[in-house]
Amino acid sequence: MRRPFGVHVLVKVVMMKELTLLLKIFVHLLSLLVSSCAQHTSNHAVIVSSSRYWFNYRHNANALTIYQFLKENGFRDENIILMLADEYAVNPRNVFKNRILTTPEGPSLYDASTEVDYRGEDVTVSNLVHALTGHHTAGLPVLNTDEKSNILIYLTGHGGDQFFKFQDVEEIMTQHLSAVFQQMHAAKRYHEILFVADTCQAFTLGDAFISPNITVIGSSLRKESSYAHHADENLGLSVIERYTYAFHEFLRNKDNTNWGKMTLRQAMVDPFPFEQQRAHIGISDKLAVRKADQVVMSDFWVNKHIPSKRHTKDVVAYPIDYEMPRFSLEAYQRATGIDYRASEKQQKAKDDHANAQPTHSLIEGADPSDGVFLLLTVLLFGMAILAGFLL
């Protein structure tokens, strides 16, 4: 039976539409593949320790461990956003003054070269969002990334089911992070993101992510906690988390330095079984074109430029017996010709003028040896005692 002419045309139109749609999808996927395969041209990192108070020392140590590791692998401070919510090196309870240590004999994770971009009360949800999305907040650094930038985002602190705490005041939810990444993707601010969280129920932070090319690694799954690795008896508290410590020790092992071939899964998941961590390491690469066993460590953990050792002229070691140079005002004045005491002289002149002016107080104030004061005191108490006799 012959179909009517209209149906024939309709079928053709529908088939054309399907074909067009398929073609569009194919092109999109192809472009994604191409873009993913296209090499990134820069590496950036955002490291956040969101915890305050002395007993959260280990979160600070986590962040600084990652920071120092990145610096050793050629990252420059311009490419790292380091957020530390509290200062532990100078905490009065820190017996190792000006140092952050995870082992008593180890090097300090905090030294003269550590550049903290957001500190103290600047570590907030909104500032993290601004830093990621590139919205400049007065004086605070942000990520200068483009569509060819690989970004490592490392969060450590206290977390829960789909949230991450900031300073016991606020939380950022997975949905919020997802919205931020969508914004970044729309603005072409990243090539690939490696999102690492070392908190309790860390893996749940990636539940709501939908933007492409994001790999999520969490140190614990839902309803699991991340634990500390060891405590220091001098400090009296735990100094680092298990996952970060194990990960760092794994990477420092000279047998594991071939980061150009070692994949994310091989370096960040497989070596850390449940028996060691007491939690399962979660990894999700469903959004990424390149999977975790295809992406090599150097794509995120080694700076795109020539990797350099820690002790370069950019990085100054902080010796224990380091003495801060003393600033000499006299030398400064000789060098600059500026009278640095000018403001002090002006202030003194003002004070002298004020002191010379008659004061406008109703009562000036007296000395305890003042005769009038003594007389008033004697009168007051004398009259009170006399009245006591009478009444």
Partner 1 sequence: MFGETTAQMSERSEQTSFLRSPSTSCATVLRCLCVFGLLLPSEWLPWIYSRAVQSTLIDDIFTLGHVLEALAIRQLVPPHSFASTYEGHTIHLPPLLLALFQPVSRLSESQQHTTVGLCLIVVDLLIAWTLERLGKFVVQQRKTEWEDKLQEQVPEAIQPKLSHIFEVTKESNAVVNSATIPLLMAQLYYWSPITLLTSNVFVCYQNIPVLFSLIGLINASQGSLIWGALSLVLASYINVHHALFVVPSVILIRERRKSVVVFLISFLSLASAMQALSLYLVGTSEFLLIAYASHIWTFQFQGIEPSLSTLWYFGMEMFDRFSMYFTVLMGGAPYLLVIPLWIRLYRYPEAMIALFWLLGTVFRPPATLYSLNVAFCLLLLSSKSLARLRVIPSLIAVSSFSIPVALYVVNTWLWLDTGSGEANFMFFQCLVYNAFVAIIFVQFVAACLRRDKALRLTEKLSYMGDVPEKSKQN
Whose structure tokens read 């955002």?
Answer: 46
- The tokens for 61 are 């140590």
Number of Cβ within 10 Å of residue 168's Cβ equals 14
Closer residue to partner 1 in complex, CB, 338/366: 366
Closer residue to partner 1 in complex, CB, 320/391: 391
Contacts of 297 (CB under 8 A, 6+ apart): 259, 260, 262, 263, 264, 267, 268
Closer residue to partner 1 in complex, CB, 64/235: 235
Cβ(217)–Cβ(35) below 8 Å: no
From the list 19-27, 137-145, 257-265, 379-387, the region that binds partner 1 by CB under 8 A is 379-387
Give the N- to C-terminal CA distance of the chain in Å, as an integer: 129
306, 326, 362, 371: residue in contact with partner 1 (rule CB under 8 A): 362
Burial class (CB in 10 A: 0-12, 13-18, 19+), 151: buried
Closest CB 161 distance from partner 1, rounded Å: 23
169, 210, 317, 349: residue in contact with partner 1 (rule CB under 8 A): 169
Rg, Å, the chain Cα set: 32
Distance CA 26, CA 20 (A): 10
359 binds partner 1, rule: CB under 8 A: yes
From the list 4-12, 122-130, 307-315, 382-390, the region that binds partner 1 by CB under 8 A is 382-390
- Site mask for partner 1 (CB under 8 A), range 110-149, x = bound: ----------------------------------------
10 binds partner 1, rule: CB under 8 A: no
Phi and psi at 140, nearest 5°, equal: -95, 140
Of 59, 191, 200, 229, which is the active-site residue? 200
358 binds partner 1, rule: CB under 8 A: no
Closest CB 199 distance from partner 1, rounded Å: 20
Closest CB 51 distance from partner 1, rounded Å: 13
387 binds partner 1, rule: CB under 8 A: yes
329, 342, 356, 385: residue in contact with partner 1 (rule CB under 8 A): 385
Closest CB 125 distance from partner 1, rounded Å: 16
- The tokens for 375 are 């007389």
From the list 78-86, 234-242, 262-270, 271-279, the region that binds partner 1 by CB under 8 A is 234-242
321, 323, 330, 367: residue in contact with partner 1 (rule CB under 8 A): 367
Of 59, 158, 191, 229, which is the active-site residue? 158
Closer residue to partner 1 in complex, CB, 16/374: 374
Closer residue to partner 1 in complex, CB, 325/365: 365
Closest CB 323 distance from partner 1, rounded Å: 22
Closest CB 380 distance from partner 1, rounded Å: 5
Distance CA 180, CA 263 (A): 27
Known catalytic residue: 200?
yes
From the list 30-38, 82-90, 112-120, 231-239, the region that binds partner 1 by CB under 8 A is 231-239
Closer residue to partner 1 in complex, CB, 54/250: 54
Size of the site for partner 1 (CB under 8 A): 33
Cβ(304)–Cβ(42) below 8 Å: yes
391 binds partner 1, rule: CB under 8 A: yes
Q: Where along the sequence are the contacts to partner 1 (CB under 8 A)?
A: 54-55, 93, 95, 168-169, 233-234, 236-237, 351, 355, 359, 361-369, 372-373, 376-377, 380-381, 384-385, 387-388, 391
- Which residues form the catalytic set? 158, 200
